[in-house]
Chain A
């Protein structure tokens, strides 16, 4: 059974940093691309960042380019998202999700974690 478990969310002050983790199980982690998607309270879904199965290629939404960094450790079956220079607009539930392919381009996402809440407030 595919499982994705996010952690690392919490309350952080504006300008602060956090690192989110997503531990995967039930599939060959390195074979599949992964994505982070966020959802602000009461709002819709927004793509944040994606990474290929090997970790060699990464993609970022314009809204987080230069502030967030996606990475993965295939030996630990873990996906990461480093969040820096956080602002109130980054407050959201952050979901990790799995692609059915090694490259996320031209792909949807077939399994999702339950999310971790990031709150940016002073």
Chain B
């Protein structure tokens, strides 16, 4: 099974900050990686697929990069609506999620 490890687990930031979340795969997954945002009590919301493709309707301050085993999600200019938990998901072999990164207000 492919394991996904996110870091950090929690991130404290301020509005306007540039934020980067890292996701590492236990083996190469090419670019079969998605990022989701989840707010408390809500369903996950797709942000990025194929490692760097922005889902329609998602603000351009979100971007993704990486391939193989190391990936990043960057939020350029954190907005109040962005305080949430973020999950990476590999879909190279079945489906596995990272443990999540909570972005909280500093």
Taking Cβ atoms with an 8 Å cutoff, the residues of A that contact B are 35, 37, 44-47, 50, 59, 61-62, 95, 97, 104-115
**A4 CB, min distance to chain B CBs, angstroms:** 9
**Chain B interface helix/strand/loop/mixed:** loop
Does B49 belong to the interface (CB within 8 Å)? yes
How many residues of chain B are within 8 Å of chain A by beta carbon? 23
Q: Of the 9-residue stretches B11-19, B20-28, B65-73, B85-93, which lies at the interface with chain A?
A: B85-93
- Is there an interface contact between A109 and B46, defined as CB atoms closer than 8 Å? yes
Taking Cβ atoms with an 8 Å cutoff, the residues of B that contact A are 1, 32, 34, 36, 38, 42-46, 49, 55, 87, 89, 91-92, 94-100
Q: Which residues of A contact B34 (CB under 8 A)?
A: 108-109
- Is there an interface contact between B89 and A112, defined as CB atoms closer than 8 Å? no
Q: Chain A residue with minimal CB distance to B42?
A: A114
Q: Which residues of A contact B38 (CB under 8 A)?
A: 45
